[in-house]
Chains A and B, each alone.
Chain A
Amino acid sequence: MSEQGQSGGGLTESEVRKVAKLSRLELSDAEIADSAERLAAVLGYVDRLGEMDVEGVEPMAHPSDDSNRLDEDVPRDGLPTSVLTGMSPASEGDFVKVPKVIDGGGGA
């Protein structure tokens, strides 16, 4: 396991903050501290994989060798747009409402 990997066992709160941001999770300071402790325990355990001899072993991401097979390109009915937009917690007509993404005026 790399040096960086070994640091996982002692995950710092600032690292947890970064991971929470990448995970799109808004956590309180108490939740960050609790997560740091619990994640460190799990990472400390999984670090044992670093002791395995995996030299030259082909990574296995999927149990099936047939996982990227292609189907015939046959059209079929999908769900109506109104059903899909209707599932949104905020929709109007056939659109999903979101907060403003682009700043007004600047044309950015």
Chain B
Amino acid sequence: MGYIGGMSTPCGTLVEIRDAIRSGAMSSVDAVRGCLERIEALDGTVCAFTQVFAEKAIADAGAIDARIAAEGAERVGALAGVPVALKDNICLDWGKTTCCSRILEEYESPYTATAAQRLIDAGAVIVGKTNLDEFAMGSSTEHSCFGPSRNPWDTERAPGGSSGGSAAAVAAGMVPLALGSDTGGSIRQPAALCGIVGVKPTYGRISRWGLVAFASSLDQIGPMTRTVEDAGLALDVLCGEDPLDSTSARVEVPAFTDRLRDPIEGLRIGVPAQARSEQNDPDVARVFEETVERLRTMGAEIVDIDLPHMGAGIAAYYIVAPAEASSNLARFDGIRYGRRAEIDQGEDLETLYSRSRAEGFGGEVRRRIMLGTYVLSSGYYDAYYNTALKARRLIKGDFDAVFSADASGAGVHAVLLPSTPTPAFRIGEKIDDPLALYLEDIYTVTANLAGIPGVSVPAGFAEVEGKRLPVGVQLLCPAFGEVNMLRIAAGLADSSALETMPAG
């Protein structure tokens, strides 16, 4: 297998489709049909979707077209008629919300997530749900009960994860926008490996109501798109306080798309010593240095910085995230929803819980629940969990220090890091070595621990065994600093003018 191909046409970008619908050049039904045809042609190979709502999407698009005819597209909403997809851990009150877990394989949510509702209220049409590592625990989508998704640039390789289905769907031109969720890199890492843009907003920017919780102090929903402008447009719709999520931020939401074209001249961009790890793939290292030079050419000031506690990120994350997961996933007990195991006469309620959970959860989820239970258990709480929380404070302190002005000079506006240490790896290559897979997230976890925003933007290509594989770079900004983050990302994307989709 090689590059994806086929006779179908990839969909346009979010902005292109929105504009075509606004101008009357395209109906919403046409746009949705185009996406459904592309999915039909390629998803047998790519396996990006867990469900496609073909009939409902066409009916919804027809209703939007009628409203556009009556009211005009701009009154219908910022995304009037545009097809989109959701990661299958985001609740909709139709179809199934499976989290790609056997325990929720037949689960039908009775309500819709706020982020999904905001897309619907803006006129978007949801065409389907995308594949993920079970409960978003993984970096490859290989831990999905439906099997792995495949990277559109090389279908022998993983798209990354856990939002790998969303990344593959966007990179294959099946939809212009898919939502992902990012707990330790699950938007940015697959975006990088699939050559698209992925934004993890500041913690609290987007409501988590209706996102099935993995690690509540780290989880954030975010957009995955082919362009930075598309990501900005999606954020304009998605961000804002939600009374249903007490951790959603009471912070004014700027118009992200308005400032994308501001020049980045004079912005200070920090390049940490830790970005230049010897563990980086040579192509990743080359693309990173090329990016630094491009930023310099655009007039940014490159500042050498130090994030001395970054090396503790993965260790702190693999204590904090499993600890929170073990608590969040305690609700899946076979009683109120999900799969219930059979027990024999005389077996007790605890056996029902334990058997339902053992049958319902896959190996990686079980391991993380056990790891979390262990680090929270009596005698280990201080040594592991509390120490990790202290390391988390130090990691956040590293960012606070470089972002704020001090005696040695002005703080930086953004930090530049690789998105991942390597380009896309082969399906199966790392599945038996959890630690190797965990280290995929070495550059992404610190943003979740600190609660700051990050974006992965395509920056170049690696040549691996005759295949061109995308390489991303990552920009991190202070909390609620998405405007500068997207502005720099847009500048980088414009200057590189890379293709964001494989040929064919």
Contact = CB atoms under 8 A, between A and B. Distances in A.
Interface of A: 1-2, 4-5, 8, 11, 15-16, 19-27, 31, 34-35, 38-39, 41-43, 45-46, 48-50, 52, 54, 57-64, 66-69, 71, 79, 83-84, 87-90, 96, 98-99, 101
Chain A interface mostly:
loop
Nearest to A3: B383
A99 B317 CA distance: 38
A22 B370 CA distance: 8
Interface string B368-390: 01110110010110111011111
Contact of A4 (B363, B379, B393): B379
Contacts of A20: 370
> Which of B343, B355, B373, B449 has most chain A Cβ within 10 Å?
B373
A26 B450 CA distance: 36
B370 A19 contact: yes
A42 B217 contact: no
A67 to B, nearest CB: 6
A89 B393 contact: no
B370 A54 contact: no
A8 B204 contact: no
B299 interface: no
Contact of B366 (A25, A52, A57): A25
Given A46-B384, A60-B392, A79-B111, A24 B353 contact: yes
Given A48-B315, A99-B352, 4 more contacts: A25-B358, A35-B366, A52-B312, A99-B343
Contacts of B315: 45-46, 48-49
Contact of A2 (B330, B367, B383): B383
Contact of B217 (A62, A84, A99): A62
A63 B387 contact: no
B319 interface: yes
28 contacts: A2-B382, A5-B382, A8-B380, A19-B377, A22-B373, A22-B377, A23-B357, A24-B330, A24-B333, A24-B354, A26-B358, A35-B370, A45-B314, A49-B384, A52-B312, A57-B390, A59-B386, A62-B247, A64-B247, A64-B451, A66-B247, A66-B250, A67-B246, A68-B246, A89-B340, A90-B340, A98-B349, A99-B352
5 nearest A-B pairs in the assembled complex, by CB-CB distance:
A63-B451, A5-B383, A59-B389, A54-B390, A89-B340
Contact of A1 (B111, B370, B383, B438): B383
Contacts of A19: 370, 373-374, 377
Contacts of A42: 318, 367, 371, 434-435, 438
Contacts of B451: 63-64
Contacts of B479: 63
Contacts of A35: 366-367, 370
B30 to A, nearest CB: 36
A84 B490 CA distance: 45
B383 A54 contact: no
Contacts of A68: 246
B210 interface: no
B421 to A, nearest CB: 16
Q: Interface size bucket, B side?
A: 35 or more
Chain B interface mostly:
helix
Interface in B435-491: 435, 438, 449-451, 479
Contacts of A99: 343, 347-349, 352
Contacts of A83: 110
A49 B326 CA distance: 21
Contact of B370 (A23, A61, A62): A23
A5 B389 CA distance: 15
A35 to B, nearest CB: 6
Contacts of B347: 99
A57 B389 CA distance: 9
A23 B376 CA distance: 11
Contacts of B302: none
Interface in B287-322: 309, 312, 314-316, 318-319
Contact of B326 (A23, A87, A98): A23
A42 B316 CA distance: 12
B335 A88 contact: yes
B314 A38 contact: no
A31 B363 CA distance: 9
A49 B316 contact: yes
B337 interface: yes
Contact of B387 (A41, A54, A64, A90): A54
A50 B386 CA distance: 11
A79 B109 CA distance: 11
> Which of B108, B203, B390, B450 has most chain A Cβ within 10 Å?
B390
A63 B389 CA distance: 11
